[in-house]
Amino acid sequence: MKTDPVYLEDPYLRELDATVMEIEGGVILDRTIFYAASGGQPSDTGYMVGKERYEVKGVEKKEEIIHFTEPVPEKGERVKLLLDWEKRYRYMKHHTAIHVVSAIAMNEFKAMITGNQIYFDYARIDFNFSEWNPEITRGLQERVNEELRKGHDVTWFKMKREEILNIEGSVKVDPKLIPDSPELRVVKIGDLDLQPDGGTHVRNTSEIGMIEIFKTENKGRNNKRMYFRIQT
């Protein structure tokens, strides 16, 4: 891959200088702070500023990380990347909260996440709960907020695939959703959670605030959908 995904090492960077390497179906940079949509986390948006001001309307990851801009810069052009930080930070908070929810759902309710999607104002999680009731909603929300208040440090690093997947409880999603790579990026939340993940996160759960589960749906025999928002 031609692009260094700097956002995986430092998700708090809001500006970065970069060079346009190619224009192939979109803009390919030598490095980027714009997250490419994946795993339920939307892509970042913002601007590139060079000879003109280019709006970054979306980012995809295929063989390369592709930035879709209006207008389009020139190959070889030096640009300053400017991230829509408010949107990114909301995504980070929701993403870390999803990890806390998934850890508690598995450890205390024996339920695994089968899918999730992050939005600007809320997040959606699908579980393989066999049944759901208001008592589970209250209990899950209380336990998640209890852990968020503890201020767990959030760290990320790489591990060999077989090493992380052999740790009991580290797989909290459908294994088919985990990339087929010999080395995986792993996110650790205090002693609460450890799992493979390729998204951006806050550095401490105290940044998130509290969550409110505001809606649940029955999506099938063993598939329940939960919606939550963050209250700061």
Write out the chain's pLDDT in tens, 232 residues. 899 999 999 999 999 999 999 999 999 999 999 999 998 999 999 999 999 999 999 999 989 999 999 999 999 999 999 999 999 999 999 999 999 999 999 888 888 888 899 999 999 999 888 778 899 899 999 999 999 999 999 999 999 998 998 898 887 776 777 778 899 999 999 999 999 999 999 999 999 999 999 999 988 778 899 999 999 7
CA gap 53, 159 in Å, rounded:
39
d(CA 81, CA 74): 15
pTM: 0.94
Indicate whether 95 and 169 sit together in one domain.
yes
Q: What pLDDT is attached to residue 232?
A: 73
Q: Domain check: are 121 and 226 in the same one?
A: yes
pLDDT attached to residue 130 = 75
The number of beta carbons lying within 10 Å of the beta carbon of residue 226 is 24
| Same domain for 171 and 74 | no
Total count of domains within the chain: 2
CATH code for position 190? 3.30.980.10
Give the domain range for residue 199: 88-231
The verdict on 76 and 109 lying in the same domain is: no
In terms of Cβ atoms closer than 10 Å to its own Cβ (0-12, 13-18, 19+), residue 207 is middle
The verdict on 147 and 41 lying in the same domain is no
* Pair (93, 136) in one structural domain: yes
Residues 115 and 165 in one domain: yes
Last residue of a domain, one of 53, 83, 113: 83
d(CA 39, CA 185): 13
Q: CA-to-CA distance for 96 and 139, rounded, in angstroms?
A: 19
pLDDT for res 207: 97
Residues 75 and 20: beta-carbon distance below 8 Å: yes
Q: Which pLDDT score, from 0 to 100, does residue 165 have? A: 87
- Which one of 83, 104, 126 terminates a domain? 83
What CA–CA distance (Å, rounded) separates 154 from 32? 22
